[in-house]
Amino acid sequence: MTEPRPRRSVRRTLPERKRIALIAHDGKKAELLEWAARWRETLTDHELIGTGTTARRVADTLELPVTGLMSGPLGGDQQIGALITEQQLDLLIFFWDPFAPQPHDPDVKALLRLAALWNIPVACNAASADFLISSPWLTQAYEMAIPDAGAWVASRAGE
């Protein structure tokens, strides 16, 4: 009988220079920009990736390079999820709005599920983002366990 989920038996090392995704729902964009401005000097040392308007506004406001993807409702959340799955993202800062229903709520849930599955640090508000961005691990290599997806797929193929 195969296991219902892959074991976390593979090691992944996050690099010293992190790849950080910045996402904010419309009602939280101003808060994310304020937060990012406070941490601009720290963010300068890392690679920034963002969805839609958030990426453009962070790049314009902070005058930092931000790789822009599609907006969340147009597939940007899935693009971020793909980066997580491919181990091309190291940290997720996602200021989501608990007061506004989002037309792409299933996409948001899928993105957070992938972050949990692949053991990616996630901050959903300014306080948790402060804790993550001020962690000594931000500028150091960090080894963590991730799912052994290859072994899991191979075990399921034999069913």
53 is in an annotated binding site: yes
Distance CA 72, CA 156 (A): 32
Q: Is 90 a catalytic residue?
A: no
44 is in an annotated binding site: no
71 is in an annotated binding site: yes
Task: Say if residues 141 and 13 touch (Cβ distance below 8 Å).
Answer: yes
Distance CA 21, CA 51 (A): 8
29 is in an annotated binding site: yes
54 is in an annotated binding site: yes
From 26, 77, 105, 148, active-site residue: 77
**At how many degrees (to 10) do helices 126-133 and 29-38 cross?**
30
51 is in an annotated binding site: yes
Q: Which residues line the annotated binding site for substrate?
A: 25, 29, 51-54, 71-72, 104
User: Hey, which residues are catalytic here?
Assistant: 77
Q: Which residues line the annotated binding site?
A: 25, 29, 51-54, 71-72, 104
